[in-house]
Amino acid sequence: MTKTRNGIDRRSLLKGGAFTLAAAGSGFSLFLPEKASAENAKVVVQYDWLMSNGQIGDIVALKKGLFEAAGLDVEFSPGGPNSSTVPPVVTGQAALGQFSDSAQLLLARASGVPVKIIACGFRQGPFAFYSLPKAPIRTVQDMVGKRIGIQPTARFVLDAILAKNGIDPSSLTITNIGFDMTPLVAGQVDAVTGWITNTQALAVIGPDRIDLMMSDTGLPSYSNVYFATDDAIANHSDTLAKFIGAVAKGWGWTHANPKEAVELTVAAYPQLDLAIELATVPRILSLSFDAATAKDGWGTFDPASIAEQIAIYDKIGQFKGTAPKLDDVMTTKILELTAAERPKIG
């Protein structure tokens, strides 16, 4: 499976979903890992991508002993190129997982995979469109008549944005590009797409870069989405709540101590660049905390936004068969169990 932080791979997601369905149908039971000791429950977390700045609060929770204090022995299982996120969770090799984007879970559930959103680490998707002053794209309407360069795996996101805003795709020129920003700098397109947290890749565009975030396009989206199986939510909610409560405290500590949190993360994952991560952490925190988290705590999400996302993706034909129901793709049970522990920061 080829994943990138610049696009959403729908085809590989569906492939992973088919594997999990086959596995579940072959007699696998859904369970959490056995206890590692008499005191701490072993919890494996399957991530969608390599450990990086998007998981800084999770890493802090581990390094500061917050999971251990909650009675958990937590192990991170990073994803990356050619890895699968769903199968380890559905077969019980991992207690829970994290998707890069909420759309992935909707598509998985529509294909029959029994998983639900339990918390959302980023209040909005980091996916954005980047342009330059000579052909600025500050709103979705500005795309009309422009040349948009986008990765093929993210095309369905653009289709959803255009549908949400009532814009005919034929009114713009859509070009498939890779994951670097060169086509924009070279003048081959008027906009490119990518993750706003990819500071190093975006640096080539220069200081005049204009950002159109997904949150400003009208398409609802959450990122760093924690999910678990229906079985785990029903029968192991206490363990899931301990994890979410502890990881929420890790994100709260990160908000209060961003420099120290970056240093902890880079020490744990030396492949990360300290200077780049220090420059990126303010953006990470802006994605993680807003007025909603000030009121309801880190990790919160709005079911109405999820319902709207389902409706839009159904409108453009992204679901094979019937669109999933809202109650089948999310639950607020774990958030309710951790309401007192999740920091209320805006």
Q: Domain coordinates of the chain in residue numbers?
A: 10-124+221-337, 127-216
What is the pLDDT, as a whole number, of residue 248? Answer: 98
> Apex CA 56: angle with CA 59 and CA 66, to 5°?
40
pLDDT band at 82 (very low <50, low <70, confident <90, very high): confident
pLDDT value for 26:
30
- C-alpha angle 40-83-48 in degrees, rounded to nearest 5: 60
Label residue 209 by pLDDT band (50, 70, 90).
Answer: very high
Residue carrying the six token digits 């952490």 = 281
CATH 3.40.190.10 fits 127-216, yes or no: yes
**Cα–Cα–Cα angle for 329, 43, 109, rounded to 5 degrees:** 15
Inform me whether the pLDDT recorded for 60 exceeds 90. yes
Confidence of residue 81 (pLDDT cuts 50, 70, 90): confident
314 pLDDT higher than 90: yes
pLDDT at 289 over 90: yes
C-beta separation of 290 from 76 below 8 A: no
Q: How many CB atoms lie within 10 A of CB 326?
A: 14
Q: Which of 250, 256, 229, 284 is nearest to 52 (CA)?
A: 284
More confident residue, 78 or 18: 78
User: Torsion over CA of 145, 150, 155 and 157, rounded to 10 degrees?
Assistant: -90
Q: Of residues 338 and 8, which shows the higher confidence score?
A: 338
Please determine, for residue 207, whether its predicted confidence score (pLDDT) is greater than 50: yes
Predicted model pTM: 0.89
Return the pLDDT at 31.
42
Architecture per CATH, domain 10-124+221-337, reads as 3-Layer(aba) Sandwich (3.40)
Which tokens hold the place of 184?
């924009």
Band of pLDDT at residue 280, cut at 50, 70 and 90: very high
